[in-house]
Amino acid sequence: MPHRVLNTIWKYQNQLPTVAPQHRVLLGEGQTPLVRSRSIGPSLGLNNLYFKLENLNPTGSYKDRFAAVLVSELNAKGQKVCIATSSGNTGAALSAYCAAAGIQCILVVVDGAPLPKIRQMQLYGAHIFMVHGFGKDPAITSAVFDELETLCQTHEIPLPISAYRYCPSAMQGVQTMASEILETLEGRVDHIFSPAGGGGLTLAITRGVLSEKPNAGFAKVNCVQPEGNDTIASALRNQDRKASAVALSTTSVSGLQVPGVLDGDEVIANCRKTGGTGYVVTDDRVFAWQKALAQKEGIFSEPAGAVALAGLENAVARNEVSRDETVVCLVTGSGFKDMASVERNFGLPPVETVDVGRAIGLIQPFL
């Protein structure tokens, strides 16, 4: 019996590549919650701030939307091996969906990818190879892509990279996020803030927004990048037409360390069509908002998932977002993906083991 599609991205079949239902690999991706801010929105002077909780996808990030389409396509073609690159979340998603489809997964990961993400991939059964300088040095990064493209072409298999430049059909799965946001809020969205490394996610959101063809304007899609990987955001704000590679990605926000252009040029063009602009944020503000999301909203995000919110803070300071506008920030991945960042950045106290009497005594001051 074919899988039902009501609660997955395949609800939007008209936006996705044609894959017969019996070949679709479903793990419950998509239809993630859109929750209204209780604390952070009011603290920023905003009445209608929402968070799109992509951290609640099956493997903990929005990349499940990409993997669901890509692996379904591989499954339909009878493909038995998947070779891909990843900074972490793409690899985890591909590993899980390949495991479900019975496809062997081989991943070349960026230098310094968080160990929890590596372990997640390995537990799904993937084979992992980390390349020195990959994701940090543009020349090495380009060489990795070139060599893998050649290898995959030789063996007549695709090279899954979560960018339109490489996998346009699978990236249509990510576009469904915009469809869900607009459907939930009945099209009444003024701003969407999206983090960017290579720009694939932001491009997907713009394509989703532009494809809706609203009667009265588009949601403005704003591209937010850490200053250590500013390939797109400043160019977008400064009215440049082209993204610019950086010599070395220096941000410590994992997943956004993409020094090359990838989808950057098209991100600039499409964000501009929606009326959006670019924001550059510091790593310190990203980590501060990661902590605030947890302690003020109960949302455990990885650092990359707090980048959009850091961009919103910047927009409010510039008076580029008004009090009653409806704003959506994308929370792209789970905090469990990068526990080393939690240990490194927040100075959380050790947990002491005490007897019951001591515990009661320590509790009393809170009452």
Q: Domain residue spans in the chain?
A: 9-60+168-346, 62-155
Specify the residue for token string 């003020």.
296
Task: Specify the pTM.
Answer: 0.92
Q: Under a CB-based contact definition with an 8 Å cutoff, are residues 209 and 276 in contact?
A: no
Q: Under a CB-based contact definition with an 8 Å cutoff, are residues 55 and 331 in contact?
A: yes
Q: Measured on CA atoms in the order 300, 224, 83, 137, is the torsion positive or negative?
A: negative
Residues 211-269: pLDDT tens digits?
986 655 789 999 999 999 999 999 999 999 999 999 888 999 988 988 889 999 999 99
Q: Under a CB-based contact definition with an 8 Å cutoff, are residues 148 and 159 in contact?
A: yes
Distance CA 56, CA 36 (A): 16
Specify the residue for token string 């850091």.
310
If you average pLDDT over residues 181-188, what whole number do you get?
94
Confidence at residue 216, expressed as pLDDT on a 0 to 100 scale: 55
| Strands 81-86, 48-53: pairing kind | unpaired
Q: Which helix (H) or strand (E) holds 345?
A: helix 339-345
To the nearest whole number, what is the mean pLDDT of the chain? 93
Distance CA 327, CA 46 (A): 8
Burial class (CB within 10 angstroms; exposed 0-12, middle 13-18, buried 19+) of 316 = middle
If you average pLDDT over residues 307-317, what whole number do you get?
98
Tokens coding 252:
């410590």
Percentage of the residues of the chain whose pLDDT score is greater than 90 = 76
Phi, psi of 295 (to 5 degrees): -85, -20
- Laid out side by side, the sheet with 127-130 consists of 81-86, 104-109, 127-130
If you average pLDDT over residues 16-22, what whole number do you get?
94
Contacting residues for 129 by C-beta, under 8 A, at least 6 apart: 106, 107, 108, 109
Please check whether the two domains, 9-60+168-346 and 62-155, share a CATH topology: yes
Confidence at residue 158, expressed as pLDDT on a 0 to 100 scale: 86
Confidence at residue 1, expressed as pLDDT on a 0 to 100 scale: 44
If you average pLDDT over residues 105-122, what whole number do you get?
90
Q: Helices 283-292 and 307-317 sit at what angle, rounded to 10 degrees?
A: 100
CATH architecture of 9-60+168-346: 3-Layer(aba) Sandwich (3.40)
* DSSP letter assigned to residue 301: B
Q: Is the pLDDT of residue 5 over 60?
A: no
Distance CA 26, CA 4 (A): 9
How does residue 17 score in pLDDT terms, banded at 50, 70 and 90?
A: very high
Tokens coding 316:
């409010």
Confidence at residue 257, expressed as pLDDT on a 0 to 100 scale: 83
CATH fold of 62-155 reads Rossmann fold (3.40.50)
Weakest mean pLDDT among 123-127, 282-286, 292-296, 338-342 = 338-342
If you average pLDDT over residues 92-102, what whole number do you get?
97
Distance CA 120, CA 107 (A): 12
Residues 24-82: pLDDT tens digits?
999 999 999 999 999 999 999 999 999 999 999 999 999 999 999 999 999 999 999 99
If you average pLDDT over residues 194-209, what whole number do you get?
96
Structure-model confidence comparison of residues 142 and 77, the more confident one: 77
Q: Is the pLDDT of residue 272 over 70?
A: yes
Distance CA 185, CA 108 (A): 39
Q: Is the pLDDT of residue 113 over 90?
A: no
